[in-house]
Structure 1
């Protein structure tokens, strides 16, 4: 293996311009791929945010005891249709009211916790299931009334926004897949051309190795490893360029979108996302390199 690695690096040093061309094409491919992957992730996060943004608020009756509340909370926690479940006590409801009327403190002084009902708030995991969940909560004995925050702007308006986001997400994915596909095919063809040129340059050496009994893998291995070197370098360069751009732009993105988690705000999660993209691209890049080099070898050489 050390001999094959040395031979592959020697091949790259002997024809640096071919190597640079192959690496540049692969770098562009994976630069675009990284940006598209991040765009798809962000559009999914944006869609998920608006899908779960409308809240169902179940106001509880005054005679609801803690055991009944815990039993209802337990059932809602185990329901996959429920997200962001939260219990609001009378005291918390008063605190929310005071915060909302902070510009007029007198209003907060005139009320006590007893006039506010406790409530259970949650978001439907899918907006299409909101009506079903509202009807389900209305059947609960300890639920006095139901509120749905989407009604502020009209549930139809919320549905229209989400449908548009779904359409945008779909087209981002389709356009991204087409762009990545075209660039991947281009990279594949460039690798084939470069490996084919290598074979032409080393034809006498390859024939000599065949005559002295070298195995097909012994002859193919340096060229396959050379293609893998191109892919790995192209992936790392493309990913690094895209990552630097995203990191540079992320403060502005966070400021513009506010509370919407369009990108991970925690550094560990952010770099985990970039690391996952890099790992996936390395796998794809190595696959393209192996398949492209072997295909070129099988077309150019006739080894037994």
Structure 2
């Protein structure tokens, strides 16, 4: 086994330009893959944030009685499309306003709870259901109006926001999958050509080894180890470049989105994701190397 590893490393040193070409293409592939994986993760977190926070607010009429409010809350709580139902009193609404205007306390000094309506806040399990739920809540006799949190704009723009978020997320996933697939196919072809050229250059040596009784494994293992070297090293450098970029831009992204956890804030979880991604990319690199080297050896051995 050690002799096979030494032979494969010697073959790499004999043709450094081919080795650099193979590793560079693989590194580019896994660099883009690393960025796309985190982009997909960030877009999913963005959707999940808006789907799980209480973004819909039903403002209640002043004449609403406790029984009517209780029935509304009960109806929303029993709806499988709704979650996170919360009743906000007039006093709590005033406190929320004071916190929102804490930079300018004069705005809330002369206010009383009576000018704020009581409300019921809730979120939906899927943003695409929000418009139907809002229409249903509006028909309740105790509801004065229905609004949504400022993070989503206004009620009139809810449909556009939902469509845009869904469209962007879908495009990122589909586009990312296409880009990664094309790069993986390109990496496979480059590795296939490099290994095929390497085997063709050693065809006479391979024929001699067969004549003296060398086993198929003895001939194939150095080539396989060489291909695995390209795959693993390319995956590592691509992952490393992607990780450096992510670590550099993460503080700016987290600062921009503030409360929205588009990227992990816990360093342990963040580096854990990077470690898991490295392991998966290394496995893909090994798989590409194994298949590419096997096909190249089969093709050359048949004399095609």
Kept in 2, the 8 Å contact 1:88–1:120? The answer is yes
Mark the CA change 1:115 to 1:232 in structure 2 (over 3 Å): closer, same or farther.
same
Distance 1:174 1:101 in 2: 42
- Any unmatched runs of 5+ in structure 1? none
The aligned residue for residue 126 of structure 2 is 126
Mark the CA change 1:106 to 1:236 in structure 2 (over 3 Å): closer, same or farther.
closer
Kept in 1, the 8 Å contact 2:196–2:300? The answer is yes
Distance 1:286 1:156 in 2: 52
The aligned residue for residue 273 of structure 1 is 273
Could you tell me how far 1:98 is from its partner in structure 2?
Answer: 3.0
Q: Secondary structure at the match of 2:214?
A: coil
Distance 1:279 1:84 in 2: 38
Could you tell me how far 1:298 is from its partner in structure 2?
Answer: 0.7
Mark the CA change 1:99 to 1:244 in structure 2 (over 3 Å): closer, same or farther.
same
When structure 1 is superposed on structure 2, of 212-221 and 85-94 the one drifting more is 85-94
Per-residue CA shift, 1:252-294, capped at 9, x if unaligned? 2222333332222222232233233323322222221111111
Kept in 2, the 8 Å contact 1:57–1:122? The answer is yes
Distance 1:175 1:272 in 2: 26
- Any unmatched runs of 5+ in structure 2? none
Could you tell me how far 1:138 is from its partner in structure 2?
Answer: 7.7
Could you tell me how far 1:94 is from its partner in structure 2?
Answer: 4.1
Matched, 1:182 2:182: yes
Distance 1:198 1:59 in 2: 74
Distance 1:87 1:8 in 2: 69
Distance 1:201 1:46 in 2: 53
Distance 2:30 2:202 in 1: 30
The aligned residue for residue 148 of structure 2 is 149
Matches within 5 A, 1:132-211: 132-134=132-134, 147-149=146-148, 153-211=153-211
Matches within 5 A, 1:1-304: 1-51=1-51, 55-57=55-57, 63=66, 75=78, 79=80, 81-84=81-84, 86=86, 88=88, 92-100=92-100, 102=102, 103-104=104-105, 107=108, 111=112, 120-134=120-134, 147-149=146-148, 153-302=153-302
Mark the CA change 1:9 to 1:69 in structure 2 (over 3 Å): closer, same or farther.
farther
Could you tell me how far 1:245 is from its partner in structure 2?
Answer: 1.2
Distance 1:106 1:57 in 2: 23
Distance 1:161 1:139 in 2: 23
Normalised TM-score (structure 2): 0.79
When structure 1 is superposed on structure 2, of 236-245 and 30-39 the one drifting more is 30-39
Distance 1:73 1:53 in 2: 15
Per-residue CA shift, 1:65-85, capped at 9, x if unaligned? xx9999789757xx4x34555
Kept in 2, the 8 Å contact 1:51–1:162? The answer is no
Could you tell me how far 1:30 is from its partner in structure 2?
Answer: 1.2
Could you tell me how far 1:150 is from its partner in structure 2?
Answer: 6.0
Structure 1 residue runs of 4+, over 6 Å off?
A: 59-62, 67-74, 114-118, 135-141, 143-146
Q: Secondary structure at the match of 1:264?
A: coil
When structure 1 is superposed on structure 2, of 45-54 and 171-180 the one drifting more is 45-54
Could you tell me how far 1:125 is from its partner in structure 2?
Answer: 2.4
Q: Secondary structure at the match of 1:57?
A: strand
Distance 2:87 2:217 in 1: 66
Q: Secondary structure at the match of 1:260?
A: coil
Could you tell me how far 1:140 is from its partner in structure 2?
Answer: 9.3
Per-residue CA shift, 1:69-118, capped at 9, x if unaligned? 99789757xx4x34555554666444213324543458457646x99777
